[in-house]
Amino acid sequence: MFLDKFKLEDRIALITGGTRGIGLSIAHALGEAGAKLVLVNRTDPVGGVQELKDAGYNVNFFEGDLLDRSVPQKTIDFTLEKHGRVDILVNNAGVAQHGDTEKFNDDLLDKIMDLNVDAVFRMCRSAIPHMKKQGEGVILNIGSISGLVSNIPQPQTAYNASKAAVHMMTKSLASDYADQNIRVNAIAPGYIRTEMTNLPKENEHWYPTWNELTPMNRMAETHEVASAALFLCSPASSYVTGEVLVVDGGYTIR
Ligand code: NDP
Protein backbone atom coordinates (compact mmCIF):
# COMPACT_ATOMS: atom_id res chain seq x y z
CA MET A 1 0.00 0.00 0.00
CA PHE A 2 2.70 2.50 0.94
CA LEU A 3 4.95 1.87 -2.06
CA ASP A 4 1.91 2.34 -4.32
CA LYS A 5 1.71 5.93 -3.09
CA PHE A 6 4.93 6.72 -4.95
CA LYS A 7 3.48 5.58 -8.26
CA LEU A 8 2.74 8.16 -10.95
CA GLU A 9 1.19 5.91 -13.62
CA ASP A 10 0.27 8.06 -16.64
CA ARG A 11 0.65 11.33 -14.72
CA ILE A 12 1.92 14.14 -16.94
CA ALA A 13 5.03 15.82 -15.52
CA LEU A 14 6.49 19.00 -16.96
CA ILE A 15 10.06 19.66 -15.82
CA THR A 16 12.00 22.83 -16.62
CA GLY A 17 15.73 22.33 -17.07
CA GLY A 18 15.24 18.57 -17.24
CA THR A 19 17.99 17.63 -19.68
CA ARG A 20 20.86 17.73 -17.20
CA GLY A 21 21.85 18.04 -13.56
CA ILE A 22 19.19 17.88 -10.86
CA GLY A 23 16.37 18.21 -13.42
CA LEU A 24 17.53 15.15 -15.33
CA SER A 25 17.63 13.07 -12.14
CA ILE A 26 14.14 14.26 -11.22
CA ALA A 27 12.99 13.25 -14.72
CA HIS A 28 14.43 9.76 -14.11
CA ALA A 29 12.68 9.50 -10.74
CA LEU A 30 9.28 10.58 -12.05
CA GLY A 31 9.69 8.54 -15.25
CA GLU A 32 10.54 5.41 -13.27
CA ALA A 33 7.40 6.00 -11.19
CA GLY A 34 5.36 5.94 -14.43
CA ALA A 35 4.97 9.62 -15.32
CA LYS A 36 5.01 10.84 -18.90
CA LEU A 37 7.63 13.55 -19.19
CA VAL A 38 7.79 16.90 -20.91
CA LEU A 39 11.09 18.77 -20.63
CA VAL A 40 11.82 22.37 -21.47
CA ASN A 41 15.38 23.60 -21.99
CA ARG A 42 17.34 25.75 -24.39
CA THR A 43 19.65 22.86 -25.22
CA ASP A 44 20.32 19.22 -24.51
CA PRO A 45 24.11 19.15 -24.13
CA VAL A 46 24.48 15.71 -22.53
CA GLY A 47 21.74 13.93 -24.47
CA GLY A 48 19.34 13.82 -21.53
CA VAL A 49 16.27 13.32 -23.71
CA GLN A 50 17.78 10.26 -25.40
CA GLU A 51 18.99 8.92 -22.04
CA LEU A 52 15.42 9.11 -20.71
CA LYS A 53 13.99 7.51 -23.86
CA ASP A 54 16.59 4.73 -23.62
CA ALA A 55 15.40 4.13 -20.06
CA GLY A 56 11.96 3.46 -21.55
CA TYR A 57 10.13 6.62 -20.54
CA ASN A 58 7.62 8.57 -22.60
CA VAL A 59 9.45 11.88 -23.22
CA ASN A 60 8.67 15.04 -25.17
CA PHE A 61 11.10 17.91 -25.47
CA PHE A 62 10.19 21.57 -25.90
CA GLU A 63 13.19 23.63 -26.93
CA GLY A 64 12.71 27.03 -25.33
CA ASP A 65 14.43 29.80 -23.42
CA LEU A 66 12.54 30.59 -20.23
CA LEU A 67 13.99 34.09 -20.29
CA ASP A 68 11.59 34.70 -23.17
CA ARG A 69 8.34 35.78 -21.51
CA SER A 70 6.19 33.87 -23.99
CA VAL A 71 7.88 30.51 -23.39
CA PRO A 72 6.17 29.47 -20.10
CA GLN A 73 2.70 29.66 -21.71
CA LYS A 74 4.04 27.92 -24.83
CA THR A 75 5.39 25.00 -22.78
CA ILE A 76 2.03 24.55 -21.08
CA ASP A 77 0.27 24.70 -24.48
CA PHE A 78 2.76 22.14 -25.84
CA THR A 79 2.11 19.83 -22.88
CA LEU A 80 -1.66 20.10 -23.30
CA GLU A 81 -1.35 19.48 -27.05
CA LYS A 82 0.66 16.29 -26.39
CA HIS A 83 -1.23 14.96 -23.38
CA GLY A 84 -4.34 17.04 -22.70
CA ARG A 85 -3.35 17.75 -19.10
CA VAL A 86 -0.56 18.82 -16.78
CA ASP A 87 -0.51 17.01 -13.46
CA ILE A 88 2.93 17.87 -12.14
CA LEU A 89 5.01 20.98 -12.74
CA VAL A 90 8.64 20.98 -11.57
CA ASN A 91 10.25 24.41 -11.75
CA ASN A 92 13.88 23.36 -11.68
CA ALA A 93 15.69 25.54 -14.25
CA GLY A 94 17.87 28.09 -12.55
CA VAL A 95 21.10 29.98 -12.80
CA ALA A 96 23.72 30.92 -10.20
CA GLN A 97 26.16 33.74 -10.56
CA HIS A 98 28.77 34.73 -8.01
CA GLY A 99 30.13 38.22 -7.64
CA ASP A 100 30.50 41.13 -5.26
CA THR A 101 27.36 43.22 -5.16
CA GLU A 102 29.12 46.51 -5.90
CA LYS A 103 30.39 45.05 -9.17
CA PHE A 104 27.27 43.08 -10.12
CA ASN A 105 25.83 44.49 -13.34
CA ASP A 106 22.18 44.81 -14.36
CA ASP A 107 22.36 42.12 -17.04
CA LEU A 108 23.44 39.50 -14.50
CA LEU A 109 20.89 40.70 -11.97
CA ASP A 110 18.10 40.57 -14.58
CA LYS A 111 19.11 37.09 -15.74
CA ILE A 112 19.03 35.67 -12.21
CA MET A 113 15.72 37.28 -11.25
CA ASP A 114 14.06 36.62 -14.63
CA LEU A 115 14.91 32.92 -14.66
CA ASN A 116 14.93 31.99 -10.97
CA VAL A 117 11.88 34.02 -9.95
CA ASP A 118 9.83 35.50 -12.80
CA ALA A 119 9.88 32.40 -15.02
CA VAL A 120 8.79 30.26 -12.05
CA PHE A 121 5.89 32.64 -11.44
CA ARG A 122 4.94 32.58 -15.13
CA MET A 123 5.08 28.77 -15.29
CA CYS A 124 2.79 28.53 -12.26
CA ARG A 125 0.46 31.20 -13.64
CA SER A 126 0.07 29.25 -16.89
CA ALA A 127 -0.29 25.82 -15.28
CA ILE A 128 -2.70 26.62 -12.46
CA PRO A 129 -5.85 27.26 -14.55
CA HIS A 130 -5.53 23.76 -16.03
CA MET A 131 -4.82 22.19 -12.65
CA LYS A 132 -7.95 23.92 -11.32
CA LYS A 133 -10.00 22.52 -14.20
CA GLN A 134 -8.58 19.06 -13.56
CA GLY A 135 -9.43 19.40 -9.87
CA GLU A 136 -5.86 18.55 -8.85
CA GLY A 137 -2.24 19.40 -9.45
CA VAL A 138 1.21 19.36 -7.92
CA ILE A 139 3.89 22.03 -8.22
CA LEU A 140 7.45 21.55 -7.03
CA ASN A 141 9.87 24.45 -7.05
CA ILE A 142 13.61 24.01 -6.66
CA GLY A 143 14.81 26.60 -4.17
CA SER A 144 18.08 26.41 -2.28
CA ILE A 145 19.68 26.55 1.14
CA SER A 146 20.90 29.89 -0.23
CA GLY A 147 17.33 31.10 0.26
CA LEU A 148 17.59 30.20 3.95
CA VAL A 149 21.15 31.09 4.98
CA SER A 150 23.90 33.19 3.48
CA ASN A 151 26.32 30.43 2.61
CA ILE A 152 30.03 31.19 2.28
CA PRO A 153 32.64 31.91 0.97
CA GLN A 154 31.10 32.87 -2.39
CA PRO A 155 29.42 36.27 -2.67
CA GLN A 156 26.00 35.69 -4.30
CA THR A 157 23.46 38.08 -2.85
CA ALA A 158 21.26 38.18 -5.96
CA TYR A 159 21.07 34.37 -6.18
CA ASN A 160 20.30 34.10 -2.45
CA ALA A 161 17.51 36.66 -2.76
CA SER A 162 16.08 34.88 -5.80
CA LYS A 163 15.89 31.57 -3.95
CA ALA A 164 14.29 33.18 -0.87
CA ALA A 165 11.67 34.52 -3.30
CA VAL A 166 11.08 31.00 -4.63
CA HIS A 167 10.44 29.74 -1.10
CA MET A 168 7.93 32.53 -0.37
CA MET A 169 6.24 32.05 -3.74
CA THR A 170 5.86 28.38 -2.84
CA LYS A 171 4.15 29.16 0.46
CA SER A 172 1.90 31.84 -1.04
CA LEU A 173 0.74 29.61 -3.89
CA ALA A 174 0.21 26.71 -1.50
CA SER A 175 -2.00 28.91 0.63
CA ASP A 176 -3.93 30.37 -2.32
CA TYR A 177 -4.68 27.05 -4.03
CA ALA A 178 -4.89 24.48 -1.22
CA ASP A 179 -8.70 24.49 -1.50
CA GLN A 180 -8.42 23.68 -5.23
CA ASN A 181 -6.47 20.50 -4.46
CA ILE A 182 -3.25 21.96 -5.84
CA ARG A 183 -0.24 21.23 -3.65
CA VAL A 184 2.83 23.46 -3.93
CA ASN A 185 6.14 22.57 -2.29
CA ALA A 186 9.82 23.35 -2.69
CA ILE A 187 13.12 21.60 -2.16
CA ALA A 188 16.07 23.53 -0.78
CA PRO A 189 19.15 21.59 -1.83
CA GLY A 190 22.58 22.07 -0.31
CA TYR A 191 25.66 21.55 -2.48
CA ILE A 192 24.93 19.11 -5.29
CA ARG A 193 27.48 17.91 -7.84
CA THR A 194 26.34 19.40 -11.17
CA GLU A 195 27.57 21.77 -13.84
CA MET A 196 26.46 24.62 -11.57
CA THR A 197 28.91 23.65 -8.84
CA ASN A 198 31.71 22.72 -11.24
CA LEU A 199 33.98 25.55 -10.14
CA PRO A 200 36.64 27.16 -12.27
CA LYS A 201 40.24 26.53 -11.10
CA GLU A 202 40.54 29.88 -9.33
CA ASN A 203 37.55 29.06 -7.08
CA GLU A 204 38.32 25.41 -6.34
CA HIS A 205 39.45 26.38 -2.83
CA TRP A 206 35.74 26.87 -2.01
CA TYR A 207 35.12 23.11 -2.02
CA PRO A 208 36.82 22.37 1.34
CA THR A 209 34.80 25.17 2.98
CA TRP A 210 31.56 23.79 1.54
CA ASN A 211 32.37 20.31 2.86
CA GLU A 212 33.58 21.49 6.27
CA LEU A 213 30.35 23.44 6.80
CA THR A 214 28.27 20.41 5.78
CA PRO A 215 27.94 18.03 8.78
CA MET A 216 27.88 15.03 6.39
CA ASN A 217 31.14 16.44 5.02
CA ARG A 218 30.38 15.90 1.33
CA MET A 219 28.45 17.22 -1.60
CA ALA A 220 25.40 15.27 -2.79
CA GLU A 221 24.68 13.46 -6.03
CA THR A 222 21.65 14.59 -8.00
CA HIS A 223 19.65 11.42 -7.28
CA GLU A 224 19.61 12.36 -3.60
CA VAL A 225 17.50 15.39 -4.49
CA ALA A 226 15.43 13.44 -7.01
CA SER A 227 14.14 10.97 -4.41
CA ALA A 228 12.86 13.88 -2.32
CA ALA A 229 11.25 15.26 -5.48
CA LEU A 230 9.50 11.95 -6.11
CA PHE A 231 8.05 12.08 -2.59
CA LEU A 232 6.76 15.64 -3.05
CA CYS A 233 5.35 14.98 -6.54
CA SER A 234 3.55 11.76 -5.61
CA PRO A 235 0.51 10.90 -3.48
CA ALA A 236 3.01 9.82 -0.78
CA SER A 237 3.01 13.51 0.23
CA SER A 238 -0.75 13.99 -0.14
CA TYR A 239 -1.04 16.11 3.05
CA VAL A 240 2.12 18.15 2.48
CA THR A 241 1.82 21.64 1.02
CA GLY A 242 3.73 24.89 1.44
CA GLU A 243 6.76 22.95 2.66
CA VAL A 244 10.38 23.82 1.86
CA LEU A 245 12.11 20.47 2.25
CA VAL A 246 15.80 20.92 3.00
CA VAL A 247 18.14 18.33 1.44
CA ASP A 248 21.55 19.58 2.53
CA GLY A 249 23.55 16.96 4.47
CA GLY A 250 22.82 19.03 7.58
CA TYR A 251 24.31 22.34 6.36
CA THR A 252 21.55 24.51 7.80
CA ILE A 253 21.33 22.82 11.22
CA ARG A 254 24.44 24.61 12.50
P1 NDP B 1 22.62 23.05 -13.99
O2 NDP B 1 23.36 24.29 -14.32
O3 NDP B 1 23.30 21.74 -14.10
O4 NDP B 1 21.25 22.98 -14.79
C5 NDP B 1 20.46 24.12 -14.96
C6 NDP B 1 19.31 23.75 -15.84
O7 NDP B 1 18.53 24.93 -16.09
C8 NDP B 1 19.77 23.22 -17.15
O9 NDP B 1 18.96 22.14 -17.51
C10 NDP B 1 19.57 24.40 -18.09
O11 NDP B 1 19.33 23.97 -19.42
C12 NDP B 1 18.34 25.05 -17.50
N13 NDP B 1 18.28 26.43 -17.91
C14 NDP B 1 19.18 27.41 -17.63
N15 NDP B 1 18.81 28.55 -18.22
C16 NDP B 1 17.65 28.30 -18.88
C17 NDP B 1 16.79 29.07 -19.67
N18 NDP B 1 17.03 30.36 -19.90
N19 NDP B 1 15.69 28.49 -20.21
C20 NDP B 1 15.43 27.17 -19.99
N21 NDP B 1 16.22 26.38 -19.24
C22 NDP B 1 17.31 26.94 -18.69
O23 NDP B 1 22.11 23.29 -12.52
P24 NDP B 1 21.58 22.31 -11.38
O25 NDP B 1 21.06 21.05 -11.93
O26 NDP B 1 22.61 22.29 -10.34
O27 NDP B 1 20.41 23.24 -10.83
C28 NDP B 1 19.03 22.94 -10.95
C29 NDP B 1 18.30 23.79 -9.92
O30 NDP B 1 18.76 23.47 -8.61
C31 NDP B 1 18.52 25.29 -10.09
O32 NDP B 1 17.33 25.99 -9.85
C33 NDP B 1 19.55 25.61 -9.02
O34 NDP B 1 19.50 26.95 -8.62
C35 NDP B 1 19.12 24.66 -7.93
N36 NDP B 1 20.14 24.36 -6.93
C37 NDP B 1 21.31 23.75 -7.30
C38 NDP B 1 22.25 23.47 -6.33
C39 NDP B 1 23.55 22.79 -6.65
O40 NDP B 1 24.40 22.68 -5.73
N41 NDP B 1 23.79 22.30 -7.85
C42 NDP B 1 22.05 23.82 -4.91
C43 NDP B 1 20.77 24.43 -4.66
C44 NDP B 1 19.86 24.69 -5.64
P45 NDP B 1 19.88 24.73 -20.72
O46 NDP B 1 21.12 25.47 -20.31
O47 NDP B 1 20.11 23.64 -21.68
O48 NDP B 1 18.75 25.62 -21.14
Q: How do the domains of the chain map onto residue ranges?
A: 3-253
CA 225 to centroid of ligand 1, rounded, Å? 13
Q: What's the pLDDT tens digit per position in 133-161? A: 999 999 999 999 999 999 999 999 999 99
Bridge partners for 89 per DSSP:
14, 139
Residue at 188: amino acid letter: A
Average pLDDT on 176-185 reads 98
Which ranges of the chain would DSSP assign to H, the alpha helix? 21-32, 48-54, 71-83, 106-113, 119-134, 157-177, 206-212, 222-233
User: Which CATH class for the 3-253 domain?
Assistant: alpha beta
pLDDT the model gives residue 2: 96
pLDDT the model gives residue 142: 99
Which is more confident, 207 or 10? Answer: 207
Average pLDDT on 29-46 reads 96
Q: Is 251 in the pocket of ligand 1 (CB under 6 A)?
A: no
Average pLDDT on 18-22 reads 97
Q: Is 43 in the pocket of ligand 1 (CB under 6 A)?
A: yes
pLDDT band for position 200 (cuts 50, 70, 90)? very high
CA 2 to centroid of ligand 1, rounded, Å? 32
Q: Is 61 in the pocket of ligand 1 (CB under 6 A)?
A: no
pLDDT the model gives residue 162: 98
Average pLDDT on 182-186 reads 99
CA 25 to centroid of ligand 1, rounded, Å? 12
pTM assigned to the model: 0.98
Mean pLDDT of the residues in the chain: 98
Which of 57, 159, 177, 251 is catalytic? The answer is 159
159 is catalytic: yes
CA 23 to centroid of ligand 1, rounded, Å? 7
Residue with the nearest Cα to atom 39 of ligand 1? 192
Q: What's the pLDDT tens digit per position in 98-129? A: 999 999 999 999 999 999 999 999 999 999 99
> Given a cut of 90, is residue 46 above it in pLDDT?
no
> Given a cut of 90, is residue 181 above it in pLDDT?
yes
Alpha carbon distance 237, 33 (integer Å): 14
